[in-house]
Amino acid sequence: MKCPRCNADLTPAIRHKIQVGYCPSCKGMWLERDELEQLEDEVFDFGEHAKGTLVTAATPTSDRCPECNAYLSRFRYRFYDLEMEFCTNQHGYWLEDDEDTRVLELMRKEEADLARKLLAEDRWTAALKRMRSGSFLSRVRDLFH
Ligand SMILES: [Zn+2]
Ligand SMILES: [Zn+2]
């Protein structure tokens, strides 16, 4: 695989116990989709419900995905002031030098607060989903009949 930035060959490396494709030239790294989630899980488990919130507003870049050569898009990582690039075909994420360490730092700092927030959101979403689902409505009807 080639580095999206400088086209050097990516070499396998271990960062924070996670296997990444590391660029020896610009020190960036390529994480496959699951690998970023593993990195987060090193700190604490968001649970499956939170994974969908990973990518917010994204803008296209001129960097290319090492796997499919599509242009990478830049996005803000969760709610933080930290930008990453990702493949819109879901191959993975491109992190610049030490951004993975910042991810871990942010995670630790915001852990309690964010977990509370996500849990609350999840409960609310689940409640809405139940309310909209036919099975719930029919259960309610059953109750009143
Ligand atoms: Zn590079
Ligand atoms: Zn790709």
61 pLDDT higher than 70: yes
Walk across the sheet containing 83-87 and list its strands: 11-15, 18-22, 29-32, 92-95, 83-87, 71-77, 55-64
pLDDT score for 82 = 74
Point out the ligand nearest to the CA of residue 89. 2
92 pLDDT higher than 70: yes
25 pLDDT higher than 70: yes
Residues near ion ligand 2 (CB < 5 Å) are 65, 67-68, 70, 87, 89, 91
Neighbouring C-beta atoms of residue 103, cutoff 10 Å: 24
Point out the ligand nearest to the CA of residue 5. 1
| DSSP SS3 for 35 | helix
Do residues 75 and 58 make contact, with C-beta atoms less than 8 angstroms apart?
Answer: yes
Point out the ligand nearest to the CA of residue 96. 1
Point out the ligand nearest to the CA of residue 69. 2
DSSP for 101-143?
A: HHHHHHHHHHHHHHHHHHHHHHHHHHHHHHHHSHHHHHHHHHH
18 pLDDT higher than 60: yes
Query: Above pLDDT 70, what percent of the chain?
Result: 57
Task: State in Å: Cα 56 to ligand 1 middle.
Answer: 25
pLDDT score for 112 = 59
Query: Average pLDDT of the chain?
Result: 75
What mean pLDDT comes out for the span 98-104?
79
Task: State in Å: Cα 121 to ligand 1 middle.
Answer: 38
What mean pLDDT comes out for the span 88-95?
88
